Amino acid sequence: MKEVLTRIDPTVLTLSDKLVNINRVAKVMKGGKRLSFSALVVTGDGHGHVGIGLGKANEVPVAISKANATARKNLIKVPLIGTTIPYEVRVKFGAAYVLLKPAAPGTGIIAGGSVRAVLEASGIKDILTKSMGSSNRTNVAKATMLALSRLKNPKEELAKRKGTTQVEETVTDD
């Protein structure tokens, strides 16, 4: 059974963008070095929607605007239980390895770098994280997004496994 991913419309959300990384890339050509830039941007509404985008261009502002557009296209919905995630998740993307653990209210976001940027944009307030392996900001951000996309809402999953819906459970026989 294959799930159909529904696109999230960015126009109905109030999104805020955060620039995570700008990387200057030099390509050596016959006439010398040709410089270009890549920008990594995280966007989110602070209420469970988050996306990341990577934009590349010859000028920094163009790269940032491309990254913003890509981030708005790649929005995902993160299931939140209060101010944290429902359960622990571990993900590897490239050589970047990310561990996300739910935390008690009041703990705050225990994370650094691009993991923190993604979690703040998604609206998660209490979480424990560990980033291992590669410290490449792009791959760490993508690993965090992959981890958040793999999270499922436990109540919905339980209903799917039982083969019932929430509506059927409330019906009573007279």
Residue ranges of the domains in the chain?
Answer: 10-159
pLDDT at 71: 92
pLDDT one-digit tens code per residue, 107-141: 999 998 899 999 999 999 999 999 999 999 999 99
In the prediction, which pLDDT does 19 show? 94
DSSP element (H, E) containing 146: helix 137-150
The domain defined by 10-159 folds into Ribosomal Protein S5; domain 2 (3.30.230)
Is the pLDDT confidence value at 1 over 90?
A: no
Task: Write out pLDDT tens, residues 68-100.
Answer: 999 999 999 999 888 999 999 999 999 999 999
Q: Is the pLDDT of residue 13 over 70?
A: yes
Sheet holding 32-44, edge to edge: 16-29, 32-44, 49-57, 76-77
In the sheet with 109-110, reading across from the earlier edge strand, the strands are 89-93, 96-102, 127-133, 109-110
State pTM to two decimals. 0.84
